[in-house]
Amino acid sequence: MKHFRDEDALVGEIARQFLPSRDQKLRLGIGDDAALWKQRPGFAGILTSDWFLEGSHFLREKHPPESVGWKCLARAASDIAAMGGTPRCFLLNLALPSSATGKWLKSFLRGLRRAAERLHCVLAGGDTTLSNRILISVTVIGEIAEGQEVLRSGARAGDLLFVSGTLGEAEQGLRLIRENGGGARPTNSALRKHLFPEPRVELGRWLAQKKLASAMMDLSDGLSSDLPRICAASGVGALIHLSSLPVLRGIGETTRTQLALHGGDDYELLFTITPRKAASLPAKFRKLRLTQIGEITKERGVRVAGRDGVAKPLRASGWDPFRKAK
């Protein structure tokens, strides 16, 4: 177990783990009171900040520290992708028990660095302190060409509803981890999706640049929790076709449907698009499947139509810390 002389020594260790910034828009990184960030002309900044807490968002005994490092940045960057933007830099607030300042920290930083390199998102600063459990708060600053941002509020009745990838896979990965734990280099794709999710930055940017999506968000809490947010922001409703959901293969039908409707942590993009534009949407973006799962309705509320064609209201039962606590 490694002990740091003081906070400056820990900050120095973190700074050393990250390459000096070659990103000219980040003028000054770690080591001063704050970081300087220059926007490019014609671009707007995008700001988002997320908790990632031991016991709530990850389990220290079950989740490899490399996954914690990767995921704390990936999930915040996913919010930038959800607006069609590109992540540029991030601030890391990290509170650790002294028992985690050695091997755990080293693996955590390795995972974080991998995500930062994958996303071309540089560490700009943050804050460190001691705590009896591991607390992480990550702020990501992204950018988008002015006027290209895709909001939650742009869905209109008649728009078609799409998702990227497979739904429920990360939740299935979580179930496997609860049973068996997960390694730092998982081979199972559900495990990998839960531990090392890939924010859909390229897809989001493409949908925004081509002005294809009318509304967009990322699926973090599960379709049944997140879709009502697009509907509320846009003043519309939605109808999902159960048979269209891109579910997992190799598990029972009831389970895979429940996972697809309510499973969290997928970080896929949920977006709406007019029928005219949808006609030119490819079935895949690079290797990522794009699936129409329903449509936007004038009638409020989210309903789901089964194979019998009968539509029933969909009750939100994805991840919500406040709902869980009651």
- Which residue has 């807490």 as its token pair? 53
Q: How far is the CB of 2 from a second copy (least distance, A)?
A: 11
Residue 85 in contact with a second copy, rule: CB under 8 A: yes
Candidate list 49, 258, 274, 291; residue touching a second copy; CB under 8 A: 49
Residue 37 binds a second copy, judged by CB under 8 A: yes
For residue 129, the cross-strand partners are: 95
Stretch touching a second copy by CB under 8 A, among 51-59, 166-174, 271-279, 286-294: 51-59
**Residue found under tokens 């990360």:** 170
Tokens representing 67?
């996954």
Size of residue set near a second copy by CB under 8 A: 73
153 scored as a contact of a second copy (CB under 8 A): yes
- Interface segment toward a second copy; rule CB under 8 A; list 87-95, 161-169, 187-195, 250-258: 87-95
- Tell which residue, 62, 71, 88, 79, has the closest CA to residue 141: 88
| Helix H or strand E encompassing 192 | helix 189-195
- Binders of a second copy in range 203-232 (CB under 8 A): 217-218, 229
Positions 233 through 292 that interact with a second copy (CB under 8 A): 233
Site string for a second copy, 124-143 (x = CB under 8 A): xxxxxxxx---x-x-x-xx-
Toward a second copy, which CB reaches closer, 83 or 242?
83
Tell whether residue 202 is a contact of a second copy (CB under 8 A).
no
Among the listed residues 72, 82, 177, 273, the single contact to a second copy using CB under 8 A: 82
Q: Is 99 in the site for a second copy (CB under 8 A)?
A: no
Q: Please list every residue from 6 through 35 that binds a second copy, using CB under 8 A.
A: 6-10, 27-28, 31-35
Q: How many CA atoms lie within 13 A of 305 on its CB side?
A: 12
Show Cβ contacts of residue 164 under 8 Å, excluding neighbours closer than 6 positions. 200, 203, 268, 269, 285, 288, 289, 290, 291
The torsion angles phi and psi of 254, rounded to 5 degrees, stand at -65, -45
Quick one: 3 or 276, whose CB is closer to a second copy? 3
To a second copy, the closest distance from the beta carbon of 83 in angstroms equals 5
Letter string b/e over residues 185-221, b meaning 16 or more CB atoms within 10 A of that residue's CB: ebeeebbbbbbbbbbbbebbbebbeeebbbbbbbbbb
